[in-house]
Chain A
C-alpha cells in the first residue's frame, strides 16, 4: 500500500540571528533585513514524509502560505524530493493569526485531497506558537499526534508513532488520515539532490489565491484573525544598578563574603 503526504512548510525570519539593525527606531522589525530560512522543524517534517515515500511509495506535496517570495522555499522542497508544491498567496491572506492560517490551510488540503498523512513542524521559530498544526487538524476533523519523534509502523491504514511527552515518551496508534507535528530530533533532513536542483532551478510553483479556494473572506487574513497586535515595544535594556566585581582574588573573595552575610552561601 502506498501513502500520500501533504507537508505544511513555512519560510521564517532567522530569529536566532537577529542583529540590532533589524529593529527600526520605532520598535518594529525591519523584515527586509532579516534572512529568510526554511523553518527547521518543517524541514524535518518534509524529511519524514520523504522517508514514508521511499519506503512505501506515494506522493509528497509541500504547501506553504506566504508572500510570493516563499516560492524559494518550495523549490528547496523540490530539491529534496517533493513531487508537487503549492504556493498559497494572496494579499487577502496577509496578517493572518494561527486561526486564520489554519482555516486557509485546511481549505487547501481539502482541495488537494487524496492524502493519508498531513505533516507539520511542531512550531515555527518566528512565533513559536505550535498552534497551526493542531488547529488545522481540528478543522479537517483529523486525529493528531503532536511532538512526533518516530514513525514506527504504517500498516492497514493505521500509523504507529512515538511521541515526546513530559518526562518520557508514548507510543500511539492512529487511524489514517491523521496529522502529525514533528520535532527537530525526529530526523536529519537530506541534502538537496544535485540532479533535482538542475531540473527545478527555474521552476515556477503552482499558485493558489482566494479565487481558487472555496474560502470565506471574512475568515482570512488580518480580518479573520481574532487576535490582534495591540502594542509592540522594543526591548530597551535599562542600565541596571549592579555592582562591578573585579575578577581578582580579592574581588571574588569580597563577593563571597557578601553572599555569606546574606545567607545565600553557607
Chain B
C-alpha cells in the first residue's frame, strides 16, 4: 500500500453568513484525531467571500484552510460543490474527512464518497483512532466509527480498513465545540474554480429559510415528552411546567411522529443533541436513539409508569408512576415553593 496521508479534513458548512455549529464541533473533534495521527487538521470551504470564515477555523485548530472561492459558488448547490470537493479529495487523499450530518452534509457527502470510492459511515456518535487487527491483518491508527444500529439495540463500530480515505458524518451537537485559547496561525490555500456544464443543470428558483426559532441546544431546562404522554392535549401539561420553570418543551421521535410536538423539537440521534442543566423525560421509554441525544444532560428526571423502562438506566431521579398525575402534582409543589 502507498504511504497514507495524515491529514484530517473537515467540510465547512455555512449557515447564514457564518460557519454552522456542526462544522466547528467537527473541527474540535478533528483536532484531537489529527493529534493522535501526528497529522494536520485542514478545513475545506467552498463558497464566496470566505476569508473571515477561513480564519475562524483557525480558532478551532485548523492549520490550513483550503478555500474555493467564486461568485458562482455563493449558494450551496449539489453539483458544483460535490464535484469540486471530490476533485480535492482525489488529488490530496486525506486520511479522514468529516461532514456534518445535516441537509447539506447528507447531500454532498455520499456523492463525494461515491465519486472517490471512499467508505462513508453516517451519523457517528463517537470517533476514535486505534490500532486494529482485522481478518488477520494489522492496521495501525484506523478511524473507529461508532454508531447505533438496528433500532438502537446494538452499537456498531465500523472501520474502513483498506481504503486510503475514511469518511464519516456526525450530527450537530454530538461532538463538543472547543475554541482554542490561542488560535493557530494557519494558512489559507486558494484553489481556483473552473465551471463545468454539469454545475448548471440545477437552478435554484426560490428559497425560504427562517432562522430556527426553537433553540433547544441552548435551553437550560428541557421538559420532554414521549409517546406515553398519550395525546397532544396532554402535552399542554408539559408546556405549562416548562413555562413555569423556565424551560423548553421537546419530544421523542414517537411523540413527534404522533404529532404531539413539532419536528424541530425532536431530541435524539435523528433530532437534536442537548446537554441542559435539567432534562425531564415524561412518558419516554429511553430507546438508545433518544438517549444518544440527552444522556449527557447535567441532571435527568425520568417519569415513567414502567419500572423497567430503559430511561431509568440513565436518569438521576426516578419517578415511577402516571405522568398525567405526577406532572400536575409537580406543578402544584413548585408553585407552593414560590409562595
Closest to B210 in A: A167
| Chain B residues whose CB sits within 8 angstroms of the CB of A233 once the complex forms | 154-157
Partner of A135, one of B113, B245, B301: B113
Asked whether A134 lies within 8 Å of B110 as measured between CB atoms, the reply is yes
Q: Which segment, of A63-71, A107-115, A207-215, A247-255, faces chain B?
A: A247-255
Q: Which segment, of A1-9, A79-87, A221-229, faces chain B?
A: A221-229
Within the assembled complex, what's the spacing in Å between the Cα atoms of A137 and B203?
Answer: 17
Partner of B110, one of A130, A170, A171, A259: A130
Within the assembled complex, what's the spacing in Å between the Cα atoms of A252 and B162?
Answer: 56
| A to B CB contacts below 8 Å, 30 in the list | A15-B150, A23-B154, A127-B122, A131-B110, A131-B120, A131-B122, A134-B114, A136-B114, A143-B198, A147-B103, A166-B209, A167-B212, A168-B207, A169-B208, A171-B206, A172-B204, A172-B205, A173-B202, A227-B119, A228-B159, A229-B158, A233-B154, A240-B313, A242-B302, A244-B319, A247-B325, A248-B329, A252-B330, A252-B333, A264-B278
B residues contacting the other copy or chain, number (CB 8 A): 87
Within the assembled complex, what's the spacing in Å between the Cα atoms of A209 and B328?
Answer: 61
Asked whether A226 lies within 8 Å of B163 as measured between CB atoms, the reply is yes
Q: Is B235 among interface residues, defined by CB-CB distance under 8 A?
A: no
Closest to B120 in A: A131
Q: Knowing A131-B122, A165-B207, A227-B160, say if A235 contacts B288 (CB, 8 Å).
A: yes
| Chain B residues whose CB sits within 8 angstroms of the CB of A255 once the complex forms | 301, 317, 319
Q: Is A77 among interface residues, defined by CB-CB distance under 8 A?
A: no
- One digit per residue, 1 when the CB lies within 8 angstroms of any chain B CB and 0 when it does not, for chain A 143-171 equals 11111000000000000100011111111
Asked whether B337 lies within 8 Å of A256 as measured between CB atoms, the reply is yes
Asked whether A240 lies within 8 Å of B314 as measured between CB atoms, the reply is yes
Q: Knowing A230-B158, A233-B155, say if A247 contacts B320 (CB, 8 Å).
A: yes
B window 77-126: CB within 8 A of A: 78-79, 82, 102-104, 106-107, 109-111, 113-115, 117-123
B window 178-222: CB within 8 A of A: 198, 201-212, 220-221
Q: Is B74 among interface residues, defined by CB-CB distance under 8 A?
A: no
**Chain B facing A: main interface SS:** mixed
Asked whether A260 lies within 8 Å of B278 as measured between CB atoms, the reply is no
Within the assembled complex, what's the spacing in Å between the Cα atoms of A99 and B110?
Answer: 9
Q: Which of A139, A171, A226 has most B Cβ within 10 Å? A: A226
- A153 CB, min distance to chain B CBs, angstroms: 10
- B268 CB, min distance to chain A CBs, angstroms: 11
Asked whether B156 lies within 8 Å of A232 as measured between CB atoms, the reply is yes
| Chain A residues whose CB sits within 8 angstroms of the CB of B277 once the complex forms | 264
Within the assembled complex, what's the spacing in Å between the Cα atoms of A54 and B318?
Answer: 55
| Chain A residues whose CB sits within 8 angstroms of the CB of B198 once the complex forms | 141, 143
- B256 CB, min distance to chain A CBs, angstroms: 12
Q: Knowing A232-B154, A264-B278, say if A143 contacts B202 (CB, 8 Å).
A: yes
Q: Which of A102, A147, A166, A171 has most B Cβ within 10 Å? A: A166
- One digit per residue, 1 when the CB lies within 8 angstroms of any chain A CB and 0 when it does not, for chain B 301-339 equals 110000000101111111111000110011011101100
Asked whether B120 lies within 8 Å of A173 as measured between CB atoms, the reply is no
Partner of A230, one of B117, B134, B150, B221: B134
Q: Is B39 among interface residues, defined by CB-CB distance under 8 A?
A: no
Asked whether A128 lies within 8 Å of B270 as measured between CB atoms, the reply is yes
Q: Knowing A134-B107, A235-B154, say if A143 contacts B201 (CB, 8 Å).
A: yes
